[in-house]
Amino acid sequence: MLGRLFKKQPAIAKQSTDRVKTALVASAGTLIRTGKSPDESYSELFDEVQRTRVFTDGKTFVDLVPRQRVREIKREYMIAKKDPHFNLQEFVNRHFYEFNPYHRDDPYVPSDSTTAREHVTTLWDELKRRNRKNRGSLIALPHEYIVPGGRFSEQFYWDTYFIMLGLAADERWDGISGMVKNYAYMLRKFGMIPTANRTYFLSRSQPPFFASMVKLLARHKGRARTYTEYLPSLIAEYRFWMKGKKITGEHADRPAYARVVMMPNGVVLNRYFDNKTTPRPESRREDIETAELARSENKDKIFLDLRAGAESGWDFSSRWFRDVNDIQSIYTTDIVPVDLNCLMYQLEMTIAEAYTIIRQPLFAKRFHSSAEKRAETVRRYCWSNKTQFFEDYDFRSGHTTGRITLAGVFPLYAKIATSEQAAAVAKRIEKDFLHDGGLVTTFEKNGQQWDSPNGWAPLQWVAIQGLREYGYFELANTIRDRWLRSNENVFADKRKMIEKYNVMKAGDLGGGGEYPLQDGFGWTNGVYAALKDEQGK
């Protein structure tokens, strides 16, 4: 008996220590100042490292951790660079290191008999991370989280919701709860959910799926308890996206401010934006090149539109280009995105529901009214009679963009489309978007990763669920089956799940974009697990 007790004590002590550390980060962490973005911290050294391609991938350097105080490194750099034999690569290697405690000499490799579904379940622990200390650009979080995989070691915003779908399928509710708590923590600390817990992401967010996460968690913890607990976080998220609403209302000649846009009918909708007008630190070289080649003299606007495109999660796509083949024509901030406003509608409705639960009918009515006005405005201005499909709205020109993309299924997902609109969308989905491996993102083949021939797990999920909301079950199941086959064909060949797939041919890899194809892969795993279990039932 005593032997068993002593064996348990180290484990119990470790659990107790973990709880204390988590509580400290959750409470004191909001008071600790977060460091600057690497481009601001390292200034000239940063410019030189990114310009000379010390690392092929621009994200590598911004993720490194300094071995000593930044001030000392900068001072030493200013002296060392005067030496004619100065070696920048050697200097960086000596003063920075990669934080990768999860590297293993014997990494997990699925056996020949492992199924894709078994592989996903095993991968959750492989992709699990914990960081309760600020390390370079990596921001401490109180709870464990799942990373996408590949080059990523941070908790990404919209990826996380689709990862949670798989965790729910595997009954890993503690993991879901921890990641929702991480976002509530960031909302308290920063007043927003950044793209991920990196200092260089603190000026931009991603598609707002936080309300969806809360609704998912409520399935397990209970609706009243969960909505009540996270109502302050939902309100903080809403305030972030709606900041500047009064400014647009007071100035008729200023239809847009930050992430809000005054529509012609007087209703305020949202756009993607960023609080900075400089090159993205993780893609500095690419952004500068794009701006230099662009015809526009307003380079700040180019940088802002690139950053806003990154906030959209669709980085990058012809959806944001005036010329579908030219990223230099990007104009993201002139666009009212249909998907963003459908997610904002869901956020407003979730807040209204939470207020109803806590018996605050006036607040509930206010948010419900705002949601209904938003829905009517999306139906009015984002619907194209010409293409019979939902499109983004160009508020500068006063009409839809003419770009037919898979974002057009979000009004079905949010349940704000009319039955006639849904029928037209379903017809177009089946006729033009559906291929052997699932749904293609757009019809443009231009080398961008959010264009043809690529398909992405989150968009398959949104389309499937949206079509089901309007009764198109057979089409939804066809999409599901083809997407699963695409995942399984690649897994059979490569023994891995990947970031994106070539849906023109089930089994081919996706491509394009600013970095090599990544494996892991968080949201592919999550959507696959949820859809595979459903298919089996």
- The phi and psi torsions of 275 (rounded to 5 degrees) equal -90, 0
pLDDT of 73-117, one tens digit each?
A: 999 999 999 999 999 999 999 999 999 877 777 888 999 999 999
Name the residue among 149, 160, 150 with its Cα closest to residue 206: 160
Is the bond leading into 281 cis (omega within 30 degrees of zero)? no
Looking up tokens 């990196």, which residue turns up? 198
Name the residue among 100, 42, 35 with its Cα closest to residue 70: 42
In the set 315, 334, 353, 444, the catalytic residue is 315
Looking up tokens 């977060």, which residue turns up? 34
Mark whether 499 is an active-site residue: yes
| In contact, 146 and 127? CB cutoff 8 Å | yes
pLDDT at 6 (0 to 100): 42
SS3 content of the chain, % helix, strand, coil (to 5): 55, 10, 35
This prediction has a pTM of 0.95
**Ramachandran category for residue 171: left, alpha or beta (phi over 0 → left; psi -120 to 50 → alpha):** left
Q: How far apart (Å, rounded) are the C-alpha atoms in residues 153 and 140?
A: 12
Per-domain residue ranges for the chain?
404-537
Residue 123 pLDDT greater than 70, yes or no: yes
- The phi and psi torsions of 162 (rounded to 5 degrees) equal -75, -30
Is the bond leading into 316 cis (omega within 30 degrees of zero)? yes
Residue 459 pLDDT greater than 60, yes or no: yes
Mark whether 353 is an active-site residue: no
Q: Which residues of 55-82 are buried (b: 16+ CB within 10 A; e: fewer)?
A: beebbbbbbbebeeebeebbeebeebee
Contact partners, residue 34, CB within 8 Å, separation at least 6 = 134, 139, 189, 190, 199, 202
| In contact, 426 and 467? CB cutoff 8 Å | yes
pLDDT of 263-315, one tens digit each?
A: 999 999 999 999 999 999 999 999 999 999 998 889 999 999 999 999 999 99
447 beta partners: none
In the set 39, 229, 348, 499, the catalytic residue is 499
Report CA 98 to chain centroid distance, whole Å.
Answer: 23
